């Protein structure tokens, strides 16, 4: 076999450049020597790459963090120049596109989403709106188009990020399945795009933008209409392409439970999914079973998870029991996965755990069911999410795929 030395060297250089930029992103401000030591790359190689990145303006010289310099001499370090590039983040929700623009460190610069009154619009309309929103954000924020490194896209369902295809949308009522979303976005926006499942994108967003020290393996557990769990391994979601979607909405938790729309009895979603909780809450209010919720609904509509939590706090017994049961099944499903992979940390992203009482109960269920409680110290971390968390996750996907991996 003939070995093409030239192309191999180029590949090695490219891999080095990606590692160096990634290392500076994760650990900056950091000295050139530290980058070389941690990556096992020679100092001259690091110096050459850093020089090229400085010339491009994507990193900057800065002083070391206080604890890192010694003998009174302030060593120079390098760090990402956060506003040297920007990214657009797009999440497709059942209520239309949710978009934002952020800098390289996840500081939100602009945001835009559809108000009310839409449900599962057609693919063509979603694309058109996405294009309009990105243009509006660029105009309003004053971010120059040439400074956009690209667009990240996130949506529920099976996303083949390598081929750029939304294999199967988990929003059943849409015509989005099977579409070549990445190619269509690139044509529409005139820039590079990267696509990902929305829970993986949220997990990447929390990991990349928060830069918290997290264990090698941990879980990112997300509840909205459906329930998903992303297994994070060394800062990456487990599974590529069609693997690792992590949708556990239809895991059966009670063989005698109510019938789910998928036809089975007792799916997790029937107990813990937000749509089910909201529908049942509305039905209970209609039957006159929960006076606190009825009065909250009279002054403030439509029904939200926040109102359900308030009604439970104000003494609506049936709402309280419904929420506690939902949280209980969330806890059991979390521990089932913890027992499988022995993850020491679970990051939880859900509306019901906005309530401290519900968080405490979830922690209690998790503690009680964790089989390896003697051997494994298991902690939970609750995300303070909002309507733009998914779109910000999409921004992080863009930073990772279109900035760090394309030096």
CB 346 → Zn ion: shortest distance, Å?
23
CB neighbours of residue 315 within 10 Å: 11
User: Bridge-partner residues for 274, per DSSP?
Assistant: none
The DSSP string of 226-275 is SEEEEEEETTEES--TTTT--B-TT-BS-TTSPBPTTS-BSBHHHHH-HH
SS3 call for 289: coil
Nearer to Zn ion, 15 or 262 (CB): 262
SS3 call for 387: coil
Nearer to Zn ion, 242 or 250 (CB): 250
Nearer to Zn ion, 102 or 272 (CB): 272
Distance, in Å, from the CA atom of 306 to the CA atom of 98, rounded to the nearest integer, reads 21
CB 330 → Zn ion: shortest distance, Å?
16
Strand 108-113 vs strand 96-103: parallel, antiparallel, or unpaired?
antiparallel
Give the burial class of 263: count Cβ atoms within 10 A of its Cβ; 0-12 exposed, 13-18 middle, 19 or more buried. Answer: exposed
Residue 300 DSSP class: S
Nearer to Zn ion, 184 or 247 (CB): 247
Nearer to Zn ion, 154 or 268 (CB): 268
Nearer to Zn ion, 89 or 266 (CB): 266
Distance, in Å, from the CA atom of 366 to the CA atom of 143, rounded to the nearest integer, reads 45
CB 266 → Zn ion: shortest distance, Å?
9
Nearer to Zn ion, 113 or 250 (CB): 250
CB 253 → Zn ion: shortest distance, Å?
10
CB 259 → Zn ion: shortest distance, Å?
9
Tokens of 103: 């800098």
Write the CB contacts of 321 (distance below 8 Å, at least 6 apart in sequence).
Answer: none
CB 279 → Zn ion: shortest distance, Å?
15
The DSSP string of 106-165 is --EEEEEE--SS--S--HHHHHHHHHHHHHHHHHHH---GGGEEEEEEEESEEEETTTTE
CB 333 → Zn ion: shortest distance, Å?
13
CB 268 → Zn ion: shortest distance, Å?
8
CB 267 → Zn ion: shortest distance, Å?
3
Nearer to Zn ion, 105 or 250 (CB): 250
User: Bridge-partner residues for 88, per DSSP?
Assistant: 101, 151
Q: Where along the sequence are the contacts to Zn ion (CB under 5 A)?
A: 250, 260, 262, 264, 267
- Strand ranges across the sheet with 236-237: 236-237, 227-233, 217-223, 345-350, 379-382
Nearer to Zn ion, 267 or 383 (CB): 267
């Amino acid at each position: 076999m003939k070995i093409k030395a030239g192309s191999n060297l180029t590949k090695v250089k490219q891999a080095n450049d990606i590692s160096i930029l990634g290392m500076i992103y994760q650990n900056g401000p950091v000295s050139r020597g530290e980058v070389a030591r941690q990556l096992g790359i020679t100092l001259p190689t690091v110096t050459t790459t850093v020089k090229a990145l400085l010339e491009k303006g994507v990193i900057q010289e800065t002083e070391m963090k206080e604890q890192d310099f010694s003998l009174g001499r302030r060593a120079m370090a390098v760090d990402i120049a956060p506003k040297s590039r920007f990214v657009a983040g797009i999440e497709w929700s059942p209520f239309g596109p949710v978009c934002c623009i952020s800098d390289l460190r996840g500081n939100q610069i602009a945001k835009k989403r559809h108000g009310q009154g839409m449900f599962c619009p057609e693919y063509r309309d979603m694309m058109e709106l996405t294009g309009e929103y990105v243009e509006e954000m660029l105009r309003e924020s004053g971010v120059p188009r040439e400074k956009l490194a690209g667009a990240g896209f996130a949506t529920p369902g099976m996303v083949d990020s390598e081929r750029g295809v939304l294999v199967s949308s988990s929003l059943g009522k849409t015509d989005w399945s099977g579409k070549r979303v990445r190619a269509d976005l690139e044509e529409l926006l005139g820039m590079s795009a990267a696509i990902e499942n929305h829970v993986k994108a949220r997990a990447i967003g929390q990991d990349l933008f928060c830069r918290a020290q997290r264990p090698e393996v941990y879980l990112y557990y997300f509840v909205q209409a459906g329930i998903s769990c992303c297994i994070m391994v060394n800062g990456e979601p487990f599974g590529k392409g069609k693997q690792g979607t992590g949708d556990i909405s239809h895991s059966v938790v009670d063989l005698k439970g109510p019938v789910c729309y998928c036809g089975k009895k007792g799916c997790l979603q029937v107990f813990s999914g937000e749509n089910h909780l909201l529908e049942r809450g509305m039905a209970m209010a209609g039957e006159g079973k929960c006076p606190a919720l009825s009065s909250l609904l009279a002054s403030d509509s439509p029904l939200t998870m926040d109102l359900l939590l308030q009604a439970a706090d104000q003494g609506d017994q049936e709402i309280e029991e419904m929420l506690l049961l939902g949280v209980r099944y969330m806890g059991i499903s979390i521990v089932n996965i913890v027992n499988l992979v022995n993850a020491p940390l679970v990051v939880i992203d859900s509306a019901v755990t906005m309530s401290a009482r519900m968080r405490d109960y979830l922690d209690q269920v998790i503690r009680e069911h964790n089989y390896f409680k003697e051997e494994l110290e298991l902690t939970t971390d609750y995300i303070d999410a909002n309507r733009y968390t998914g779109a910000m996750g999409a921004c992080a996907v863009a930073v990772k795929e279109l900035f760090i991996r394309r030096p």
